[in-house]
Amino acid sequence: MNRYKMELMVGVFVLMTVAALLLLALKVANQTMASDGDTYTLYAKFDNIGGLKVRSPVKVGGVTVGRVSNIKLDRDDYLPVVELTIQTAYSEFPETSSASILTSGLLGEQYVGFEPGFTIEGVENLADGDYIEDTSSALVLEELIGQFLFSRNSEE
């Protein structure tokens, strides 16, 4: 085996690995989207977040505009606060926008559904670090069933 050919083949091996890694990065894991440049942060306080997790998507009309970057409990009123990282390409949401926790499909993942509000004079846009006032919590199946049974009982 001559040395030149051997080194050439090792070079080819390295190039193949780089090509494979690029395929995984760009086509499979979609790295360009994940490191989506500039973002800003909004907060939303819910009564109950159900099965929401860090990295769950934030969607406007089904389009992903950001992700949940952190979930913690407010020390004062013991309500969960969700930190949303939104791409700066989608800024200029009015203050009247609302966030709700929804489920994709019957058994799917939970995500934050974001509903842009109306824009009129005197309503400012949401800025970095603002809280979304209008929120609705996750539907918890057990609670629904409990309420349903309770209302049935009280009717009888």
Partner 1 sequence: MNWVQHIGRQTIGRVAACGRAGVMLFGALFALPSFKNIPLTIRQLYVVGVQSLAIIIVSGVFIGMVMALQGYTILTDYGAEGSLGPMVALSLLRELGPVVTALLFAGRAGSALTAEIGLMKATEQLSSLEMMAVDPLRRVVAPRFWAGIIAMPMLAIIFSAVGILGGHLVGVDWLGVDAGSYWSIMQSTVDWDKDVINGVIKSLVFALVVTWIAIFKGYDSIPTSEGISQATTQTVVFSSLAVLGLDFVLTALMFGIE
State the residues that interact with partner 1 by CB under 8 A.
1, 3, 6-7, 9-10, 12-14, 16-17, 19-21, 23-25, 27-31, 33-34, 53, 55, 64
Tell me the closest approach of the beta carbon of residue 13 to partner 1, in angstroms: 5
Residue burial 92-112, b: 16+ Cβ < 10 Å; e: rest: ebebbbebbbbbeeeeeebbb
The least distance separating partner 1 from the CB of residue 145, rounded to whole angstroms, comes to: 26
Our CB check for partner 1 shows the closer of 19 and 145 to be: 19
Tokens 């799917």 belong to 108
Buried b (16+ CB within 10 A) or exposed e, 10-36: eeeeeeeeeeeeeeeeeeeeeeeeeeb
Cβ nearer to partner 1, comparing 24 with 140: 24
Residue 94 Cβ vs partner 1, minimum distance, rounded to whole Å: 28
